Structure 1
């Protein structure tokens, strides 16, 4: 195809995709059913992982729960059984350990079957300025928040590709889209998670695997305890998000095959502005939004997860 024909094709498809987007604003995409799907959630012992498990159980999915916290995972399984009569399969797994991920993944495939919806939710935060962060914690942050995604994809993606069916979900962060003061290692790990998920989505499309969908979730701080003490200067514009709300939006995005989910919605504007405004103006607006002080009173989790 020559230059003129390819350019004409791009122009026509640009018009088509924009019209399609407008139509979908008026007529939302029909939600797909997840009943019977095997859904694996990492970090399922508390917080968003637990809430996602409860929502997917309500929708008739079969749950596979991973967490390094055995008691937390057992409690999630108990709630699933109590509230939805859903018997989940639970596994203790340190997602930062590649060998352990592969070992437990093989166990899941033997005992449950091929995972069709993979939700990489497990995450940790150091919450210290870079030069104050211990090397071991920096390494652990990268291993859990980004490298674990590599190992779970390696373990479960081949079966999805073989059946041209599945969904890969990355619970990343707004800190994976824009740098934040005192979150250098966390931002780096979440930028890596976003970049990896985007690249894998393109790799799947380029190889003709259009039945395996991807969703990248980038929320602001969520009130789960992980970011206790983190603050927001203008809570009306940038609120600390409530877990139930975040969970509902994530499940809805998965059911609609939505590729990107940013929360709150102002993040779509913030990220667009970041890419077009002069750097100094971007810094000024960051100061105005309170980005320099988000972590000034950070405490993190101060007690054992229950």
Structure 2
């Protein structure tokens, strides 16, 4: 993603769009002799106010969501469960986290990597009875998990009429219901101790429908409702404000799941290496703060599209050739595989 719009946005975020830069620029103007009534100083003042205002909104949003007194996680006391952790994004998350904590992988196939801190349990997380059975084994062997990363997902790549009943149910059960099942078995202990973190891996396609992905888009869109409801229930119904929730909506990852899917302007809608998603997830866990992670930048735009008139949405969609993005798709069906 080096040669993409995100590269330049990252530079702007640490320069022109950073409060310290805006304030410093204002000070420099004043030192250079520009009076507070002069146009240059007034324009710079407005610019500084806007930058600081939006930075403050972001800061207050995080603090109000996570509390004013937060501290970094003590990794020595954590046990992580990752669904669909044997390959792709889940695999890299498991490998990275295993350097510091015990990581439990739930998948229907063994993990690609081996590590002393990684424990694998064969489990079809789309089935509640399988999750309940494995949960007892996990608790007996490693203890109660404190971090749950709901990452399992599959894609069929077929139109609505081409999809069989079994395929539709497989997608919904794996991509959506699995998050319910794992949360139901691991959340009660987190609530009891008022400590934990649940990460929900959704997708950029939660915000937009795409041909040949009706089941996938539907299941991922539903995860937003799941995540937001869970957060509010933890705060209000269960009074467990120290059990945090993070939503991750990544764009296309280079995991093979969407091999062959195309975009017209890769500079604006780039594919990402899994490491680019792993980093902000681990940062959110380490800071002990629930967050909404939308990456790359265009995912934020997708989230705002629904506020635009329908003809504008259609125009932007056609400009990027969204109707034919999956026409050359050759990714493989792989149950419990990540995005």
TM-score normalised to the size of structure 2?
0.76
Matched, 1:34 2:64: no
Paired residue secondary structure (2:132):
helix
- Whole-angstrom distance in 1 between the partners of 2:262 and 2:292: 25
Aligned twin of 1:292: 323
Q: Does structure 2 retain, via aligned residues, the 8 Å contact 1:36–1:62?
A: no
Indicate whether 1:101 and 2:131 are aligned.
yes
Secondary structure in 1 matching 2:198: strand
Q: CA deviation at 1:24?
A: 9.3
Which structure: larger Rg? 2
1:151 maps to what in 2? 181
1:271 aligns with 2:294: no
TM-score, length-normalised on structure 1? 0.84
Distance 1:138 1:23 in 2: 41
Give how far 1:202 is off: 0.9
> Are 1:184 and 2:221 matched, yes or no?
no
Find the counterpart in structure 1 of residue 47 from structure 2.
none
- Larger RCO (CA under 8 A, 6+ residues apart): 2
* Deviations 1:48-87, CA, capped at 9 Å, x for gaps: 11100111122x1111111101xx32x43x2x23xxxx3x
How many residue pairs end up in the alignment? Answer: 276
SS state at 1:301 partner = coil
2:147–2:196 contact (8 Å) kept in structure 1 = yes
Deviations along 1:125-173, one digit per CA (max 9) or x if unpaired, are 0011111112111110000000011110110000000000000011111
What corresponds to 2:43 in structure 1?
Answer: none
Mark the CA change 1:23 to 1:99 in structure 2 (over 3 Å): closer, same or farther: closer
Q: 1:61 aligns with which of 82, 88, 101?
A: 101
- For residues 78-128 of structure 1, the C-alpha deviation after alignment (integer angstroms, 9 at most, x for no partner) is 2x23xxxx3x22100001111111111111111111110000111100011
After TM superposition, the runs of 4+ consecutive aligned structure 1 residues lying more than 4 A away are 15-18, 22-25, 302-305
| Structure 2 partner of 1:165 | 195
Rounded to whole Å, the distance in 2 between the matches of 1:53 and 1:21 is 29
- The residue that corresponds to 1:19 in the other structure is 56
**Match 1:46 to one of 67, 84, 87:** 87
Which of 276, 281, 291 matches 1:250? 281
Q: Note if 1:139 corresponds to 2:169.
A: yes
Whole-Å Cα distance in 2 between the matches of residues 206 and 16 of structure 1? Answer: 29
Residue by residue over 1:186-212, the C-alpha shift from the partner in whole angstroms, topping out at 9 and shown as x without a partner, is 011111122111111111111321000
What RMSD, in angstroms, separates the aligned Cα atoms of the two structures?
A: 2.5
How far has the Cα of 1:34 moved from its partner? 3.0
- The separation in 2 between residues aligned to 1:110 and 1:258, in whole angstroms, is 28
Report the counterpart of residue 120 of structure 1 in structure 2.
Answer: 150
Partner Cα distance (1:165, 1:255) in 2: 13
User: In structure 1, what is the equivalent of residue 244 of structure 2?
Assistant: 213
Structure 2: 5+ residue stretches without partners: 1-51, 63-69
